[in-house]
């Protein structure tokens, strides 16, 4: 059993268990925390899971976890590892079931006092136009037949949405990978996954997914904030969702397939949930193609929701405010595996970086960033728990040097969903949020209870750690004024 006592404090915010901690570890295991968050993770298995990831074939440098670490499937949520190619492994558990679950931040030219008189109507309109909840269908229906519209959608990604009128060119420019990961292969996706995803495009789902109308509370980097259109009192919108049933089924299918073939590659694991295959293997390549398809599905999903948010602002605010247009600031994934090049021990190495509940945070000058942000670094979007703050950060040179260009993705749970439902009454939570000035639209009171702030770490504390450690930089803090949940 791995505990926090097995980790030595290297810096005020960084702890490490050496490679010698366990005979099967190939590299050290590191995580970012402070004394308070160290206490918060002692009761789950996340540190065991972190040490387990350090045993994977091909893993290089060290296994990492962010301060929002908590127990997940195989990998801890908040986990980051890189495996060296061509023979390093890829693991579905290192990506997660909600492939390309991510966050999109939208900006407006409006301030809170302009929107406040119409906020109830805006919240209700957003709730009506943006389907949410388990199994809910969207307005976009894509045929699941082989070679049909859905296959085109997942291979083209946001280009499909642009062609269909759901996106602007500027939206694609301000989306990770321009909303399309090359190499997506719909032929590697099961018919069951296609059937599950065919009618869920432009839907939120349930769980911790949400749409929030937020207000900029405080700015910490005026130049970066100005570049993004952020100023105190300015209204913005967050979308947090992923690849719905499509991505979930891709993960399910490949976990099963990898479990059937893992012995062929002589791989031994401390936990079968870590199941993996060499990226260069037929199975590894098939999963990569399917995972990219699910990632592109998620980019389109958030893009269609953006379209619905724009029409909701028009319906609720046209003729009442000076400018209701909603523009895109950035869209980023936090459940993904990507082939990237990083410097390791003084040499450039091609690796497969798994970020599970962790966000890419590339620093200034990265050629993959859009022109508008290239000189300041990549925007990083860190949603908090419902009713608390969220953050806009920037990637740094420090993240490139320390974490394969990665940082935290949210607050991180301290309480399971089942425990939260036993502890919190959804209707009472709704009343508390409404009393504090936050409009709430939720389809399920038990679902609302699952996401109560008490079930999460303090997101401000998490951000303070990544900022202090130099793996992200504070830009702005935002707070909710309306929440839409499944």
Which candidate, 28, 52, 53, 37, places its Cα nearest to that of 4? Answer: 37
Residue among 209, 308, 342, 409 flagged as catalytic: 409
Non-local CB neighbours of 328 within 8 Å, separated by 6+ positions: 104, 105, 106, 107, 168, 170, 171, 174, 175, 306
Which candidate, 187, 181, 195, places its Cα nearest to that of 300? Answer: 181
For residues 67 and 471, what is the distance between their CA atoms, to the nearest angstrom?
A: 11
Cβ-contact 221, 394 below 8 angstroms: yes
Which candidate, 412, 421, 417, 460, places its Cα nearest to that of 70? Answer: 412
Q: How many CB atoms lie within 10 A of CB 49?
A: 29
Sign of the torsion angle spanned by Cα atoms 439, 235, 101, 156: positive
Non-local CB neighbours of 428 within 8 Å, separated by 6+ positions: none
Q: How many CB atoms lie within 10 A of CB 33?
A: 25
For residues 43 and 103, what is the distance between their CA atoms, to the nearest angstrom?
A: 28
Buried b (16+ CB within 10 A) or exposed e, 381-396: bbbbbbbebbbbbbbb
Cβ-contact 377, 228 below 8 angstroms: no
Residue 409 annotated among the catalytic residues of the structure: yes
Assign 3-class secondary structure to 390-432: EEEEECCHHHHHHCCCEEECCCCECCCHHHHHHHCCHHHHHHH
Buried b (16+ CB within 10 A) or exposed e, 142-172: bebeeeebbbebbbbbbbbbbebebbbeebb
For residues 471 and 393, what is the distance between their CA atoms, to the nearest angstrom?
A: 10
Active site residues: 409
């Amino acid at each position: 059993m791995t505990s926090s006592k097995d980790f030595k404090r290297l810096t005020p915010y960084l702890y490490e268990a050496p490679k010698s901690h366990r005979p099967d570890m190939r590299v050290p295991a590191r995580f970012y925390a402070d004394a308070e968050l160290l206490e918060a993770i002692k009761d789950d298995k996340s540190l065991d899971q972190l040490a387990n990831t350090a045993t994977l074939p091909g893993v290089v440098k060290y296994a990492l976890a962010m301060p929002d670490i908590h127990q997940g499937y195989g990998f801890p949520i908040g986990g980051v590892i890189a495996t060296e190619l061509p023979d390093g492994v890829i693991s579905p558990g290192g990506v997660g079931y909600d492939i390309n679950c991510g966050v999109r931040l939208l900006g407006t030219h409006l301030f809170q006092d302009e929107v406040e008189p119409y906020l109830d109507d805006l919240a209700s309109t957003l709730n009506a136009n943006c389907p949410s909840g388990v199994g809910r269908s969207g307005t976009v229906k894509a045929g699941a037949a082989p070679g049909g519209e859905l296959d085109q959608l997942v291979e083209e990604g946001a280009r499909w949405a642009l062609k269909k009128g759901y996106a602007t060119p500027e939206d694609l420019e301000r989306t990770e990978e321009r909303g399309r990961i090359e190499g997506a292969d719909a032929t590697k996706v099961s018919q069951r996954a296609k059937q599950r995803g065919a009618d869920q495009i432009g839907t939120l789902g349930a769980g911790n997914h949400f749409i929030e109308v937020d207000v900029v509370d405080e700015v910490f980097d005026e130049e970066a904030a100005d570049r993004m259109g952020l100023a105190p009192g300015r209204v913005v919108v967050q979308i947090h969702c992923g690849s719905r049933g499509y991505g979930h089924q891709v993960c399910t299918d490949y976990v099963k397939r990898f479990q059937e073939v893992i012995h062929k590659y002589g791989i031994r694991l401390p936990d079968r949930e870590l199941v993996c295959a060499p990226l260069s293997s037929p199975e590894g390549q098939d999963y990569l193609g399917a995972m990219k398809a699910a990632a592109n599905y998620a980019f389109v999903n958030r893009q269609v929701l953006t379209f619905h948010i724009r029409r909701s602002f028009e319906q609720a605010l046209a003729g009442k405010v000076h400018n209701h247009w909603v523009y895109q600031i950035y869209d980023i994934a936090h459940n993904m595996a990507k082939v990237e090049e990083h410097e390791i021990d003084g040499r450039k190495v091609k690796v497969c970086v798994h970020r599970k509940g962790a966000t890419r945070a590339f620093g200034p000058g990265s050629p993959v960033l859009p022109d508008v942000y290239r000189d300041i670094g990549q925007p990083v979007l860190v949603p908090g728990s419902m009713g608390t703050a969220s953050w806009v950060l920037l990637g740094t040179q420090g993240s490139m040097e320390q974490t394969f260009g990665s940082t935290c993705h949210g607050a991180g749970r301290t309480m399971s969903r089942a425990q939260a439902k036993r502890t919190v009454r959804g209707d009472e939570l709704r009343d508390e949020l409404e009393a504090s000035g936050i409009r709430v639209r939720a389809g399920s009171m038990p679902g609302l209870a699952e996401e109560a702030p008490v079930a999460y770490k303090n997101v401000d504390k998490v951000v303070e750690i990544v900022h202090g450690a130099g793996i992200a930089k504070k830009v702005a803090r935002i707070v909710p004024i309306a929440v839409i949940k499944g």
